[in-house]
Chain A
Amino acid sequence: MFPDNRIVKQAFLRTIPVMMGYLVLGVAFGLLLQKAGYHWVWALGISLFVFAGSMQFVLVGLLSQDASLTTVAVTTLLVNSRHLFYGLSFIERFKAMGKRGLYMVFSLTDETYALLCAVGDVGSTEDRDRLSWWMALLDQSYWVTGSVVGAVLGSHITLDITGIDFAMTALFTVIFVEQWIAAKNRLPAIIGMVCAIVSLSFLGPDRFLLPALVATVAMLLAARNLVEVRR
């Protein structure tokens, strides 16, 4: 078993790209919430208990529109529906993590999911799980910090960091390339890419992801023999 400080250091190094993205997007969220008339305590609470990047931006709109609770529930389920598929890869792993596993389920954002998919071989299973937990925890701490800083400092921030949130696109790109190189079978990656692009071009940016993921799952199941035989 690796000592704690080594695990934490490793978790920090691996989450640096997420830190760049989350701090910036978190600040943007905090700013928006402050402009809508909310005290920074709200930014803290929302980032602690909701912890869903794109949904929190939508939430600011819902809060200022006095939306009905039904609208809030349906919107949240739709915006976050992609998360339905993330847990499928970690059922056994999170179950084995006990109480920490519950936090892993709660904190499974796009970015943490991506990092967990790329965790690779880390000594023992136990070390891998500790590393996973620290990465999830650090990711949320970046997001919470960014939100509060944005809400407190408001529009006093002048440093031009336009574009730094591209770190998250780059993170997805790198993990995609990693998986592409490592894969014995590239069909899943191709299916995912084709479904996403086709869905985007027909449905537009706001509604494409869920249909793309549903189509991906259907095609993967249909092509199961092909994918498994060639693996």
Chain B
Amino acid sequence: MSIAPSLLVVAVTALCTLATRATPFILFGNKRRKVPAAVLFLGEVLPPAVMAALVVYSLKHISFEAQGLWVNEIIGVAATALIHIWRRNTLLSIGIGTVVYMVLVQGAFL
């Protein structure tokens, strides 16, 4: 590793990451102009749609071909969702869901 080229790579990564995050604000954040209605609409309806996509995204590596690899994830997600519907307590649902998943992947009961 050499310092200057590595610094450049990190700087470019930082700038490009910021660029993706700042784009909506640069495009629609102008103080004098009103935000277009279509953008306001998207801003309002996107969160549940994106959250669905993020659940899939965080499970993207599960494979239905390899036996058993996906069972832990599905059980973990189902446990989390069911406990949440039952108690509506975020930390409880995430805590129990995660413990269930950890027990399954570490094979404590297998």
B43 touches A89 (CB 8 A): yes
Min CB distance B73 to A, Å, is: 7
B20 touches A84 (CB 8 A): yes
Considering only CB atoms and an 8 Å cut-off, how many residues of chain A contact the other chain? 95
Interface residue? B69 (CB, 8 A): no
Within 8 Å by CB of B56, from A81, A188, A196, lies A196
B49 touches A84 (CB 8 A): no
B18 touches A106 (CB 8 A): yes
B48 touches A170 (CB 8 A): no
A221 touches B42 (CB 8 A): yes
Interface residue? A91 (CB, 8 A): yes
Enumerate chain B residues within 8 angstroms of A209, measured Cβ to Cβ: 53, 57
Indicate whether A91 sits within 8 Å of B98 (C-beta atoms), given known contacts A51-B17, A83-B21, A213-B50.
Answer: no
A38 touches B1 (CB 8 A): yes
A169 touches B46 (CB 8 A): no
B13 touches A72 (CB 8 A): yes
Shortest 7 CB-CB contacts between residues of A and residues of B:
A192-B49, A87-B24, A192-B52, A76-B16, A163-B102, A196-B56, A193-B52
Interface string of A153-176 (1 = CB under 8 A from B): 000000011111011111111111
A59 touches B60 (CB 8 A): no
Measured in the bound complex, the distance between the Cα atoms of B52 and A62 in whole Å is 30
Indicate whether A176 sits within 8 Å of B48 (C-beta atoms), given known contacts A63-B6, A73-B12.
Answer: yes
Interface residue? A191 (CB, 8 A): yes
A59 touches B9 (CB 8 A): yes
Interface residue? A94 (CB, 8 A): yes
Interface residue? A28 (CB, 8 A): no
Nearest A residue to B37 by beta-carbon distance?
A: A224
Measured in the bound complex, the distance between the Cα atoms of B76 and A38 in whole Å is 36
Within 8 Å by CB of B46, from A37, A88, A94, A114, lies A88
A77 touches B20 (CB 8 A): yes
B61 touches A85 (CB 8 A): no
Interface string of A101-135 (1 = CB under 8 A from B): 00001101010011001100000000000000000
Min CB distance A212 to B, Å, is: 5
27 residue pairs from A and B, CB less than 8 Å apart: A13-B91, A17-B90, A52-B13, A72-B13, A76-B13, A85-B24, A85-B46, A86-B50, A89-B47, A91-B29, A114-B51, A163-B101, A163-B104, A169-B101, A170-B93, A172-B51, A173-B80, A173-B93, A179-B51, A188-B48, A192-B53, A193-B52, A196-B57, A200-B60, A212-B56, A217-B46, A221-B41
